[in-house]
Homo-oligomer: A and B are copies of this chain.
Amino acid sequence: MKTSKVPEATILRLAVYSRYLEQAERQGVETISSVAIADGTGVTSAQVRKDLAYFGEFGTRGVGYNVVDLGGHIDRILGLDRTWPVVLVGAGKLGSALALYEGFLIRGFHIVGVFDIDPDPIGKRFGSIVVLPVDRLEEVIKKRGAKIGIITVPASAAQEVGERLVAAGVKAILNFSPHVLSLPEDILVRHVDFSLHMEVITFNLTIEEKKKENGSKAHRR
């Protein structure tokens, strides 16, 4: 019983297709080809068709895909055909930004609880919800049935927070702290580290520079 045979890259692309289809739908497009989706999302048309083929046949040969239809299918595949209650621990700068992040709301991710250990931010409002002390974490997770948690606490507190989330019934965690969580295998953890992106950038910029240096060196002799 493996988790699935679908590449993660495919899932990420499906999410991108979904956004593109929403846009096409807003523009009143009714039918769309794999080439059009590919152009709009920066992949190849064969890739689009292969990705969709993992889940069924959604198009009509000689015609293309019905935009609304395909969008619905993809959203169902991704689990976006419903709302997901999410709890967030760590009401610092980043936590506050995420609690109010519209991208989450639009896609059905509802922040139903924001928590902090520090008494300072407790009582603050983020939209309709109020920052609570971490003591009430378990209570809220259970009452709201949250299966997803977001961690935006400092590295030192991350592991403990992760364990409490799991103990209270959370099945998946989006971790923005720099600490690498060690949690049971069946818990889905995704680690977001902005510096990692920056480092890919600086690696490439550094290569560019080296190339230029070598170029001028070759020229010189």
Q: Which residues of A contact B (CB under 8 A)?
A: 1, 3-4, 8, 11-12, 14-16, 18-19, 41-42, 77-80, 84, 86, 92-94, 96-98, 100-101, 103-104, 106-107, 109, 147-148, 171-172, 174, 178, 180, 188, 190, 192-208, 211
Determine the residue in chain B with the shortest Cβ distance to A193.
B103
Interface residue SS majority, chain A: helix
Contact B199 A15 (CB under 8 A): yes
Residues of chain B lying within 8 A (CB to CB) of residue A193: 103
Residues of chain B lying within 8 A (CB to CB) of residue A202: 78-80, 84, 148
Q: With A42-B180, A84-B202, A172-B205 in contact, do A15 and B195 touch (Cβ < 8 Å)?
A: yes
Contact B206 A78 (CB under 8 A): yes
Contact A104 B205 (CB under 8 A): no
A98 to B172, CA, bound (A): 24
Contact of A1 among B11, B147, B211 (CB under 8 A): B211
Residues of chain B lying within 8 A (CB to CB) of residue A192: 194, 197
13 contacts between A and B (CB under 8 A): A1-B211, A4-B204, A11-B200, A12-B199, A15-B195, A15-B196, A79-B203, A92-B97, A93-B96, A106-B195, A107-B198, A107-B199, A174-B197
Determine the residue in chain B with the shortest Cβ distance to A199.
B15
Q: With A42-B180, A171-B208 in contact, do A104 and B203 touch (Cβ < 8 Å)?
A: no
Contact B97 A206 (CB under 8 A): no
Residues of chain B lying within 8 A (CB to CB) of residue A80: 199, 202
Residues of chain B lying within 8 A (CB to CB) of residue A188: 201, 204-205
A14-B199, A107-B199 given; 12 more Cβ-contact pairs under 8 Å: A3-B204, A15-B195, A15-B196, A16-B196, A42-B180, A78-B202, A78-B203, A79-B202, A93-B101, A98-B194, A106-B195, A188-B201
Q: Please list the 4 inter-chain residue pairs (A to B) with the smallest Cβ-Cβ separation, ordered nearest first.
A: A79-B206, A79-B202, A93-B97, A15-B199
